[in-house]
Structure 1
Amino acid sequence: MLSHYIKVSFRELLKYRTQSVVSIIGLAIGFTAFILGGYWLWWETHFDNFHPEADRLYCLTTEGLVKRANGTNSDLDQLHVDDRKELFQLLPEIEASCSFNHLSFTLKQKDETISLHGMESDHSFFDLFWADFIAGTYKGKSPDGSNVILTERTARKLFGTTDCVGKEVALDEDLRPVVAGVIRNYPDNTDLLFDFLLIRSPRPNHVKRMTTYVRLQKNASIIQVHTKLARYKSRADKKWKIHLLTAPEVHLRCHPELTDRIRNIHILALAGAMAFLSALINLLVLFIGQQQRKQQKNRTYLCVGASTKSMMLKGCTELVLPLLIAFLIAFCLIESIYPYYESYTTWNRYGIYEDVSRHLSRVSLFGNMISIAGTSILAFLLVCYYPIRSLLEHKIQKPVLFKRSLIVVQIFIGSLFFITSLGLFRQLHFILSKDKGIDYSQVIQVDLGFSTAYQTDLSVLKPEMANHPYVKGVTFTCGNAPVFTEQGDWYGSFYTHFCFDPAEPDPNRSDPVLVADKDFFSFFGLQLQSGSWLTDANAYGFLVNETCLQTLGYADLFERSVYNPENKQASPLKVCGVIHDYMYAPMQYPVLPLFFTTFDNPMVKGFEPAYLFYIRYAPGHKKEVLEHLREVTSHIQNDNINRNKMFTELSDLVDTFNRPEKVIFTIFSILSLVCILISTFGIYSLVSLSTEQRRKEIAIRKVNGATFYHILQLFFREYFLLVTLGNAFALPVGYLLAKRWLETYANHTTLPAWLFLLVFIITSGIVLLSIFQQVKRAAATNPAEVIKTE
């Protein structure tokens, strides 16, 4: 019987092939986006949940040291030693604790250079965190740094095997611990990134902070703990706030660079879910239309002895078959785009772990896909059970109202996608077209490395780099001061404090200073707003950008000297000019108030070495200039710099910054188009059904003198109300969502009123086109034939 129902279902799919294809494709694309976005979101929100008793594992973090792109405070997963002592006395709920610090070493093994990142901690680490020993043990080992635990990956990298207990690891000349054990690699969704664990009592870093995790007692009230922390004043700095974060929260709140990533993940998951829901509704609309066309046939089945159970099985088969086909297509889609998905979702940390990439698990992704596919089929059948039964037994009291409600939901989803996509497009166009205030065309960035700069004066390479017929100019900056940076919350060579008034209103203000070559400003075409450029005559001079001038608030800034904040004595330091702002980071970051000076300034001379060079080449001659630069820098030996990444074109760097917006816009455009098509075919299907059921009414109206346009107007008025109702909900919700998304950018476009009117006009036009053909076909039928057959 089931095989017979499957054959019947296939015939129905072929009979209504256009609607079926659109519905199946919509289901496949929506489910694909939902799975990829949903799994990505799950992965990002379940970091370090694999540790034993993870529900009681927390990290003591500090707020007030790091900021997100939108200016709000982020958390730092470190705790000052003074606060650590006080908090352990304040919180008797703490059952166990562990502190550790990060370490980094570069090892040379034969002709290979190996970078190792690790941590130092005592035995308490193994009391709180997961450690599956393959060989050896930590027990009985003194926490004096003479023993080390390696991960399986590191053991194979250093020794080619995990059977290396007792062997020595030369981390540096003075630190040569013996391997005490080897543990299995941690999953990629962890913030505890280490190649080795040095068994040594952790020592605070240079700012007296360490990462500290605690496990609370089983009966501890987390609300009371948070209340105590809210009242606590940091012993290190009264402005700091101490928080207690779960392990997954550490990942989300202690990495400000993830803010935009998490936002885009939510967009992808929500968009996929809505597209999938729209396709499911369309499938149900198509099914209802088919069943109403087969009312007479279904009555015949029931009259000849078919049970309600068998009819339900037949109906469920017709519903499930398109879903199964769609899931199969979705599986193929995910398999084909997985390499790109893996590349796009890879998380690269900053700092000493910048070269460590974290990847989503392929096995877990497909396992989740299968389980969610099965769950969604079951949930869909449960939700549809009553409508299907009522339809087969002809018990739906108001079928027209039910069908219209489904159409309104589809129009709501389609219009919501439409207006949101237009908002995304406007912001993307704004990002790509807005003048950044700096000329970065045909410019190559050469990164010669931090460590090299402290060993050699690299500024002497400038004339040699410029000695090429296709090189139009060369300049350089120093560390933490690239022309473009992906992390706009920290920009400048160093931070200091400039006091322009002995009665300083903001003595704790930190002023970022960018140290650059004297040709930096002319090389990049920066514009002077007021004052004068830096020259040899004002060696102690500084430039500021417009934002800095506004932030300081001094109209007479050029006349003011910089005072020593301790003795209130004027120094020779002065601001001599203001330059227009330029955008050095992605648009979600605001432009910071910046000070600029050159390497000739005696205040910074010899303080910050140069190692970021910028070379402008003649159009069409990039290849020749790159070969020249490789030759000039061939003698540079820097173990920390990958020579393939030494040379970066600035335009490529800007494109990398814009990549997330481009991807999200592309995905949204596809999903929006799918949802609009689904809504269109849903309306088309219902109009087709409605015209078939109202053929006699149309015939009588024609006999009484109604024209085609009168009949078209009758149908259009009915569906125009549905469009109006769907848009009445979709447009305000779309405005709120798009507005909230745009506000995550410090620099963003606006949403004009005509955009919403355009969406309404286009959706109304789509409905008119959808009903035009069906009404025309019904109106063209001979009324006498219709009345005779009815």
Structure 2
Amino acid sequence: MPGPPRLFVRFFHWFCQPSLLPHIEGDLMELYHARRKMRGKRGADLRFIRDVILLFRPGIIRPVFERSTQTPYGMYTSYLKIGWRNLLRHKGYSAINVGGLAAGMATALLIALWIYDELSFNRYHDHYDTIVQVERTERWEGTGEVSEIHTTGLGSLLRNGTYDALFERVVMVRANLEERVVAAGDRKFTQQGYFMQPEGGELLSLHMKYGSRDGLKDMKSILLSASLAQKLFGDVDPVNQVVMMDARSELKVTGVYEDLPRNTTFHEASYFAPLDLYLGGSGLDAWDNYHMYVYAQLRPGINAAQASAVIRDIMLPHVDSEHIKRKPAVFLHPMPRWHLYSQFENGVNVTSERLRTVWYYGIIGGFILLLACINFMNLSTARSEKRAREVGIRKSIGSHRLQLIQQFYGESFLTAGLSFIVSLALLWLALPGFNAIADKALVLPWRSGIFWLACMGFTVFTAFLAGSYPALYLSSFNPVKVLKGTFKAGPAASLPRQVLVVVQFSISLMLIIATVVVHQQIQFGKTRPAGYAREGLLSLRAATPEYAGRYQVLRQELKNTGMVEEMAEANYPVNSTKGWNGGFSWKGQTIEPAFNTIFVTHEYGQTVGWEFIEGRDFSRDHASDIRGIVINESASRLLGMEHPVGESLAWRDRGTFKILGIVKDMIKGSPFEATYPSIIFLSENDMKWLYMRLKPTVNPHQAIPAIQHVFATLIPSAPFDYTFVDDIYAAKFGAEERIGKLATLFSVLTIVISCLGLFGLASYVAEQRTKEIGIRKILGASVTSLWQMQSRDFVRLVVIACGVALPLSFLTMQRWLEHYEYHTTLSWPLFVCAGGGALVLSLLVVSYQALRAAVSNPVKSLRSE
């Protein structure tokens, strides 16, 4: 006899709670048959459908996962006990899991600390959200340029009260750190600091240890950092004590501020001195002296964009018509964007190298954590056949899938928790070395509640990430097949593991290639001709009055030691980009560029080791050389003359200068950027830097004491703070070398984690095929053929990983190199070697387990048969 519509009967069976199903279904069937007699089949079917739909309500619908009658506490305790026993029972694989996860978590935490430090740059200052820096864009020759260096006139205009509705305070600071000799009695130190207006202390919210922030109102005052005050005065309160600056200025200490943390823009400042002291009483209304930073604090409710719109054209009434053609436009750059968003190209704010580095490190940290989690997933699912019987028994005695999922997640949480504890120990051990490499001062915030909450969330995330696939996969086994012995993980079951291995080795290969490319780029920059001889060249700041009039005496005495070949002076360091000036004119001029200008003594070229392309050096035999100049290749190209030597160049009201010679470009900025057009003038006045060329045959360790003795005899009051120019030049590679060292560290970690996972996986595969190997050996298979049989699959996966990683690496690193004007080129041997190295390494890892299984006694593996 036909019954109700089957589709709705199945629908009712699907959603109804099992405990209610027999009773409700009986009532429905009884009603259906009664209605069929009264209304016929069509009417009974329609009423049946309506009743089923009305029964689809919360009280009757079965839960997604069936609830257990056990108490959660007892169940979870059982899960943890079982998980702990499994860890102890399989110590080798537990060590791989915990060790791999701990290494991955420690690395991810370390990178997270570094990223947090970068993102919190300058947050030390109380007015962080309202401090802005005044910058400007100028356009000419179809290009735009952004500069943060301004005239005192612009700063004074913003301070004169006209813009009080926008700014709480405006402060001018001498652009760039100034090196000065600060002395108290016999204690003398060469220190870096800033010259700024009195409101600067309040703007930067200096944390004062002694005195007050507004201690720069007097022109003869100074604020010292706590570390400098300690060096000068010990533990004595230094307020109202007197220090000498460059043996010229007697300054009274009006305050001592706590050392600024490393993650602030001003962290290198050991002192703050009055701007009036630097300017020497000259006016503050000049519009042609570009050597000031201008900072401001916005009033509440005013943002940088609003204020920028108001002051955009503030310069136009105060500059000449030639400058107006460059369309100078002033804007405000907020402090939160100084560190990571301070790069401009063609007048537009672009993604900076620092921000890219933050992204790269974040991606690397995520990849390393993913690799560690992949190890856990692979080893957990590889043991599926061992855990299958356990799952089958649990399901046959009433366990639901949700309970099994909870059990496997519990094991994952236990492993992740243990790994986190180990990772904290690893992090604590690694932090000092990481700080040294990354030039940071990171600390573990043990007392921060936010830190522990973040760590808890991180551990939970890791546990879910690592345990999700094993929990869902292992809990899905059919108990009937398992207990009948017909369950066997087929090729499809191993496919996810194979994909994960490919992902692991692809990431590892990409990091290895990136590391090698970074090191190649560094070496490429180091082998670039510097334009002068760095080796054996010493530099010394000679700005104190004691050096005045001592040049020739000092030069002769140093040469008499037999250690020094030549000595010279200059107004700027040889590898500094300071000293830019415009206002030059020449025959056939079509542009108005700025040149890097430097003043030197006659012996400068011989001392630093210039390389002449054309013309000659300055000479004391030619008195007329005082009106001569030497230019570099970049300046020669900019002038557009076919043969510049002998031609004239005029510089505003300073007169006309004759080009004596052309030297090779000297690298002053980054070794990876284009060199600057430079003009070198002759002078012996106001020289601040002294250079000494050691003889090639002299040992520097023997030369330094002899040189120091000369300075102690002739200029005893000045500190002998020398540096080797080679060391200063090497510091130009600091950022790239830090990236290279960290990339090397992370690459080694990824390889170790990947190989750990591969080792564990190979051991399980060998264990699963023990009987097969035994039978093959009985039938005459050789050790070599058995090794090939077990290694073949892993080699295929690594080859696939190479096919994925090598093209991606090429594209990624090619784009990275494009950010450098001067860069190396990618070559195919690098990629071949990287792929071959990965293949060999994976074979070595797999071969241990493969050979161990191949040489084992087949009798032991077949004994149960």
- 1:420 counterpart (514, 521, 525): 514
Say which one has the larger Rg.
Answer: 2
Secondary structure in 2 aligned to 1:748?
Answer: coil
**Contact 1:457–1:610 (CA<8 Å) still a contact in 2?**
no
Quick check: 1:244 aligned with 2:338? no
Q: Relative to 1, partners in 2 of residues 1:687 and 1:152: Cα closer, same or farther, differing over 3 Å? A: closer
Secondary structure in 1 aligned to 2:573?
Answer: coil
Question: Residues 118-150 of structure 1, C-alpha deviation per residue, up to 9 Å, x if partnerless?
Answer: 776677985x765778899899x9988899999
For residue 14 of structure 1, report the CA deviation from its aligned partner: 1.7
How many corresponding residue pairs? Answer: 743
Secondary structure in 2 aligned to 1:294?
Answer: helix
- 1:144-543 matched pairs, under 5 angstroms: 189-191=263-265, 204=284, 207=289, 209=292, 211-215=294-298, 217-218=300-301, 236=319, 238=324, 239=326, 240-252=328-340, 267-303=360-396, 311-312=404-405, 315-316=408-409, 318-346=411-439, 359-360=441-442, 363=445, 372-384=454-466, 386-394=468-476, 399-441=493-535, 443-452=536-545, 455-469=548-562, 471=563, 473-482=565-574, 485=575, 487=576, 489-490=577-578, 495=581, 498-501=584-587, 503-513=588-598, 515-518=600-603, 520-523=604-607, 525-535=609-619, 536-537=621-622, 539=625, 540-543=627-630
Alignment match, 1:68: none
Secondary structure in 2 aligned to 1:244?
Answer: strand
For residue 548 of structure 1, report the CA deviation from its aligned partner: 2.8
Task: Tell me the amino acid that sits aligned with residue 560 of structure 1.
Answer: E
For residue 388 of structure 1, report the CA deviation from its aligned partner: 3.5
For residue 325 of structure 1, report the CA deviation from its aligned partner: 5.0
Alignment match, 1:752: 827
Q: Relative to 1, partners in 2 of residues 1:626 and 1:26: Cα closer, same or farther, differing over 3 Å? A: farther
- 2:121 counterpart (40, 43, 47): 47
**Contact 1:457–1:609 (CA<8 Å) still a contact in 2?**
no
For residue 673 of structure 1, report the CA deviation from its aligned partner: 2.6
**Contact 1:170–1:176 (CA<8 Å) still a contact in 2?**
yes
Which shifted more, 758-767 or 409-418?
758-767
Alignment match, 2:486: none
For residue 223 of structure 1, report the CA deviation from its aligned partner: 6.0
Secondary structure in 2 aligned to 1:633?
Answer: helix
Q: Relative to 1, partners in 2 of residues 1:638 and 1:244: Cα closer, same or farther, differing over 3 Å? A: farther
- 2:148 counterpart (58, 73, 76): 76
Task: Tell me the amino acid that sits aligned with residue 458 of structure 2.
Answer: S
Query: TM-score under structure 1 normalisation?
Result: 0.75
**Contact 1:79–1:212 (CA<8 Å) still a contact in 2?**
no
Which shifted more, 629-638 or 324-333?
324-333
Q: Relative to 1, partners in 2 of residues 1:24 and 1:156: Cα closer, same or farther, differing over 3 Å? A: same
Quick check: 1:616 aligned with 2:712? no
Alignment match, 2:634: 547
CA distance in structure 2 between the partners assigned to 1:596 and 1:584 by the alignment: 13
For residue 630 of structure 1, report the CA deviation from its aligned partner: 0.8
Quick check: 1:588 aligned with 2:672? yes
Query: TM-score under structure 2 normalisation?
Result: 0.70
Quick check: 1:38 aligned with 2:112? yes
Task: Tell me the amino acid that sits aligned with residue 415 of structure 1.
Answer: L
Task: Tell me the amino acid that sits aligned with residue 337 of structure 2.
Answer: E
**Contact 2:798–2:838 (CA<8 Å) still a contact in 1?**
yes
- 1:577 counterpart (661, 665, 674): 661
**Contact 1:495–1:510 (CA<8 Å) still a contact in 2?**
yes
* Larger RCO: 1 or 2 (CA < 8 Å, sep 6+): 1
- 1:644-723 matched pairs, under 5 angstroms: 645-646=721-722, 648-690=723-765, 692-693=767-768, 719=794, 722-723=797-798
CA distance in structure 2 between the partners assigned to 1:182 and 1:131 by the alignment: 9
Secondary structure in 2 aligned to 1:461?
Answer: helix
Task: Tell me the amino acid that sits aligned with residue 545 of structure 1.
Answer: N
Secondary structure in 1 aligned to 2:383?
Answer: helix
Question: Residues 481-528 of structure 1, C-alpha deviation per residue, up to 9 Å, x if partnerless?
Answer: 32xx2x5x44x6x74655331x4212343253452433x444555433
For residue 633 of structure 1, report the CA deviation from its aligned partner: 0.3
Secondary structure in 1 aligned to 2:712?
Answer: coil
Q: Relative to 1, partners in 2 of residues 1:178 and 1:303: Cα closer, same or farther, differing over 3 Å? A: same
CA distance in structure 1 between the partners assigned to 2:653 and 2:185 by the alignment: 53
Q: Relative to 1, partners in 2 of residues 1:63 and 1:449: Cα closer, same or farther, differing over 3 Å? A: farther
**Contact 1:34–1:270 (CA<8 Å) still a contact in 2?**
no
Secondary structure in 2 aligned to 1:213?
Answer: strand
**Contact 1:117–1:196 (CA<8 Å) still a contact in 2?**
yes
Q: Relative to 1, partners in 2 of residues 1:614 and 1:184: Cα closer, same or farther, differing over 3 Å? A: closer
Quick check: 1:94 aligned with 2:186? no
Alignment match, 2:91: 14
Of all paired residues, the percent bearing the same amino acid is 18
**Contact 2:513–2:830 (CA<8 Å) still a contact in 1?**
yes
**Contact 2:629–2:658 (CA<8 Å) still a contact in 1?**
yes
For residue 378 of structure 1, report the CA deviation from its aligned partner: 0.8
Q: Relative to 1, partners in 2 of residues 1:75 and 1:550: Cα closer, same or farther, differing over 3 Å? A: closer
- 1:633 counterpart (711, 722, 746): 711
5+ unaligned residues in a row in structure 1: which ranges?
66-70, 348-358, 598-603
Task: Tell me the amino acid that sits aligned with residue 594 of structure 1.
Answer: S
Task: Tell me the amino acid that sits aligned with residue 709 of structure 2.
Answer: E
CA distance in structure 1 between the partners assigned to 2:135 and 2:558 by the alignment: 46
Question: Residues 581-606 of structure 1, C-alpha deviation per residue, up to 9 Å, x if partnerless?
Answer: 34455522432223345xxxxxx434
- 1:61 counterpart (127, 135, 144): 135
CA distance in structure 2 between the partners assigned to 1:562 and 1:406 by the alignment: 67
CA distance in structure 2 between the partners assigned to 1:4 and 1:40 by the alignment: 37
**Contact 1:526–1:580 (CA<8 Å) still a contact in 2?**
yes
Task: Tell me the amino acid that sits aligned with residue 677 of structure 2.
Answer: P
Secondary structure in 2 aligned to 1:300?
Answer: helix
CA distance in structure 2 between the partners assigned to 1:198 and 1:531 by the alignment: 45
**Contact 2:159–2:169 (CA<8 Å) still a contact in 1?**
no
For residue 627 of structure 1, report the CA deviation from its aligned partner: 1.4
Question: Residues 386-426 of structure 1, C-alpha deviation per residue, up to 9 Å, x if partnerless?
Answer: 42431331269964332233222212211111211221232
Q: Relative to 1, partners in 2 of residues 1:223 and 1:74: Cα closer, same or farther, differing over 3 Å? A: closer
For residue 613 of structure 1, report the CA deviation from its aligned partner: 2.3
Secondary structure in 1 aligned to 2:524?
Answer: helix
CA distance in structure 2 between the partners assigned to 1:161 and 1:534 by the alignment: 51
Alignment match, 1:737: 812
CA distance in structure 2 between the partners assigned to 1:439 and 1:168 by the alignment: 44
Secondary structure in 1 aligned to 2:568?
Answer: strand
CA distance in structure 1 between the partners assigned to 2:686 and 2:806 by the alignment: 53
Secondary structure in 2 aligned to 1:499?
Answer: strand
Q: Relative to 1, partners in 2 of residues 1:5 and 1:269: Cα closer, same or farther, differing over 3 Å? A: same
Cα RMSD for the two superposed structures: 5.3
5+ unaligned residues in a row in structure 2: which ranges?
1-76, 345-350, 479-488
